[in-house]
Homo-oligomer: A and B are copies of this chain.
Amino acid sequence: MKLTTKGRYAVNALLDLALHNNKKPVHLADVAERQNISLTYLEQLFSKLKRHGLVSSSRGPGGGYRLALEADEISIAKIIYSVDETIDITRCHGKQNCQKDQRCLTHDLWMELNMHVSSFLNGITLFDLIQRNNVKHVAQKQDFAFVQIHKH
């Protein structure tokens, strides 16, 4: 199993996008600042998210990214998968050749854990996260800080 900042960044960034999903597309630079992620790194992640159809982009002045699907159609599992992180835990990736071309002693255990984790992450969408009070509260704080810095 591999769940690192890459996957967390992607989920945070998409949630930020969902929370600022008005008429206008969202600048990646703003997301980067609010979520404290390097812009160029975020660009790489969004290029993957776009390839997987989770976001759409528009170029030029006033351009940016927006969700390509409804928030309740984007599961956390989808996001993590899109940025190349695998939820798989087994060595053989399900192929049952974990040890000398045979299933290792604990093959079934890891498969079971796989199932648990993916069904958990499949069952939660961006919409679910938005519904939770904490998220809105945290997002407001982030927006406040953002406005404080950028007001002229």
The answer to whether residues A124 and B105 also contact, given A1-B1, A8-B91, A117-B117 and a CB cut-off of 8 A, is no
Q: In the complex, A109 Cα to B131 Cα: how many Å?
A: 12
The answer to whether the Cβ of A147 comes within 8 Å of any Cβ in the partner chain is: no
Among A10-18, A22-30, A43-51, A59-67, the stretch in contact with B: A10-18
Question: Do residues B103 and A138 form an inter-chain contact, with CB atoms below 8 A?
Answer: yes
Residues of B within 8 A of A3 (CB): 1, 89
Chain A binding surface, main DSSP class = helix
Most interface-central of A99, A132, A145 (chain B CB within 10 A): A99
Interface size of A by CB at 8 A reads: 41
* A2 on interface, CB distance cutoff 8 Å: yes
**Inter-subunit contact A15/B105 (CB<8 Å):** yes
A106 on interface, CB distance cutoff 8 Å: yes
CB-CB nearest in chain B for A142:
B105
The one of B35, B106, B120, B145 that contacts A105, using a Cβ cutoff of 8 Å: B35
Q: Which of A131-148 contact B (CB under 8 A)?
A: 132, 134-135, 138-139, 141-142, 145
